[in-house]
Amino acid sequence: MRKKIVAGNWKMNTLLKDGMELAQAVEKLTSEKSNQALVIIAPPFTHLSKVRELIDHVKLSAQNCASEASGAYTGEVSPEMLVSAGAEYVILGHSERRSYYKEENELLNKKVKLALSKRLKPIYCCGEVLEERESGRLFDVVRAQLEVGLKDLSEQEIDQVVIAYEPVWAIGTGVVASPDQAQEMHKFIRDLLGELFSKQVAEHMSILYGGSCKPSNAEELFANPDVDGGLIGGASLVAEDFMAIVNAF
Ligand code: PEP
């Protein structure tokens, strides 16, 4: 059985006090119900160690990490620092990092490998922009993101990775992919993993959907055979909405 996962990406939202309250609310709701899915939250760096003290049933993720292990890299946060603050996962390759901070697949491959070497599990994001979908290049784009971003990982390493398919045109826009569009790309990703790694890796990989996922559409998205959960942005900032998505399983 593949792991079902719902992860909340808080992005650059919440001051420390609000973030702690949100984490506490998610922890409480998670602990009250036996969930089908693993619940992960990804607060800003500044909140990680405080939030870690408040959660038990919920796992902690960072939203990014450095591509270097330590040293003179002002403003960067290393995977090892994140682990020391209590993080178990790190989101890498989010479309906002790719577009605003020009993070390319090669750099992301370096980050993925470094994170794994420090026992931090990457939630590796991929997805096409609207123009790429409309011109029919969506599969080539996602293939390159996975081929290069996950290059040279051993079977043991790839087993620690979670993939999030996030069509960029659906992120924060209110326009959600249809269940068929999501399933089509998730199946493509799973088949590609079979080609790049092995059938076993492909079968074992949790592939999350992200992009305007809400309580009202989560159930039909998660009903697809290759959709193993969600990476949630906006709706993860309200504990009840986030948990309604978790409960869609
Ligand atoms: C995201 O940024 O990862 C995301 C899925 O955002 P939203 O749910 O707000 O579209």
pLDDT tens digits along 214-233 = 999 999 999 999 999 999 99
Task: Find out whether 63 and 13 touch, Cβ atoms under 8 Å.
Answer: no
DSSP label at 119? T
What's 176's DSSP letter?
A: P
> From ligand 1's centre to the CA of 166, what distance in Å?
8
Task: Say whether 91 sits in a helix, a strand or coil.
Answer: strand
Q: How far apart are CA 97 and CA 126, in angstroms?
A: 11
Say what the pLDDT of residue 249 is.
87
User: So what's the pLDDT on residue 13?
Assistant: 98
Using a 10 angstrom Cβ sphere, with 0-12 exposed, 13-18 middle and 19 or more buried, the burial of residue 152 is exposed
Residue nearest to atom 4 of ligand 1 (CA): 233
Nearest to 143 by CA among 128, 131, 157: 128
Residue 1: the pLDDT is 79
Identify the residue whose C-alpha is closest to ligand 1 atom 1: 233
Active site residue ranges: 94, 166
Give me the pLDDT at residue 165, please: 98
Which atom of ligand 1 approaches the CA of 95 most closely?
2
| Ligand 1 pocket check for 166: Cβ under 6 Å | yes
> What fold is seen in the domain 5-246?
TIM Barrel (3.20.20)
For the chain, the structural domain boundaries read 5-246
What does the pLDDT read at residue 33?
87
Q: Answer yes or no: is the C-beta of 78 below 6 A from any ligand 1 atom.
A: no
127: left (phi over 0), alpha (psi -120 to 50) or beta: left
Does residue 211 sit in helix, strand or coil? coil
pLDDT computed for residue 34 by the predictor: 85
- Measure 169 CA to ligand 1 centroid, in angstroms: 10
CA proximity to 182, closest of 151, 234, 143, 225: 225
Q: Say how many Å lie between the CA of residue 129 and the centre of ligand 1.
A: 14
- Could you give the residue ranges of the DSSP H alpha helices within 48-129? 48-54, 79-84, 95-100, 105-117
pLDDT by residue for the chain (249 residues), tens only, comes to 799 999 999 999 999 999 999 999 999 999 998 878 999 999 999 999 999 999 999 999 999 999 999 999 999 999 999 999 999 999 999 999 999 999 999 999 999 999 999 999 999 999 999 999 999 999 999 999 999 999 999 999 999 999 999 999 999 999 999 999 999 999 999 999 999 999 999 999 999 999 999 999 999 999 999 999 999 999 999 999 999 999 998
In this prediction, residue 76 carries a pLDDT of 98
**What CA–CA distances, in Å, run from 137 to 124, 141, 155, 207?**
20, 6, 28, 20
Task: Report yes or no on whether pTM surpasses 0.75.
Answer: yes
Output the CA–CA distances (angstroms, integers) from residue 228 to 156, 201, 206, in the order listed: 20, 14, 5
Cα 138 to Cα 128: distance, rounded to the nearest angstrom? 6
